[in-house]
């Protein structure tokens, strides 16, 4: 899994706004997937974005660590309650995308 660091992503123009937002969301999904993969010490299946964080092995302590990593990587603050273990990786990526100012 490769992701593009957030700070290297260019701001979308009006004509490519939707495509750029989808790319950023996929980049965030990859980052979260890589983080969880390192945390649990296993490679994730290709369909990880549709799985709940708890089903990927994330616990409450891991959620706090993930929140800190998200803030460091993307500059988006998260509260422990923001990262619900029942949410999917895709849902979390969309939350981060909204908070970062994209949609």
pLDDT digits (tens, 9 = 90+) for 1-59: 555 555 544 555 555 677 888 888 999 999 999 999 999 999 998 899 999 999 999 99
> Number of C-alpha atoms within 13 angstroms, CB side, residue 81?
0
- Whether the pLDDT of residue 60 is over 80: the answer is yes
What value does the CA radius of gyration of the chain take, rounded to a whole number of Å?
Answer: 13
Q: How confident is the model at residue 95 (pLDDT cuts 50, 70, 90)?
A: very high
pLDDT of the residue at 48: 93
- In this prediction, residues 59-76 reach a mean pLDDT of 93
Which has the closest alpha carbon to 38: 58, 60, 64, 8? 58
Q: What is the pTM of this model?
A: 0.78
Classified as helix, coil or strand, 47 is coil
The one-character DSSP state at 42 is S
Q: Residue 72, exposed/middle/buried by CB under 10 A (0-12, 13-18, 19+)? A: exposed
């Amino acid at each position: 899994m490769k992701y593009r660091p957030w700070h290297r992503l260019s701001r979308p123009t009006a004509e490519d706004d939707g495509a750029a937002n989808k790319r950023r969301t996929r980049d965030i999904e990859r980052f979260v997937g890589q983080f969880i993969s390192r945390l649990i010490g296993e490679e994730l299946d290709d369909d990880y974005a549709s799985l709940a964080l708890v089903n990927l092995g994330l616990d409450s302590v891991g959620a706090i660590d993930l929140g800190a990593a998200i803030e460091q990587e993307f500059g988006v603050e998260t509260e422990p309650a923001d990262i619900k273990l029942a949410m999917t990786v895709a849902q979390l990526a969309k939350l981060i995308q909204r908070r970062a100012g994209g949609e």
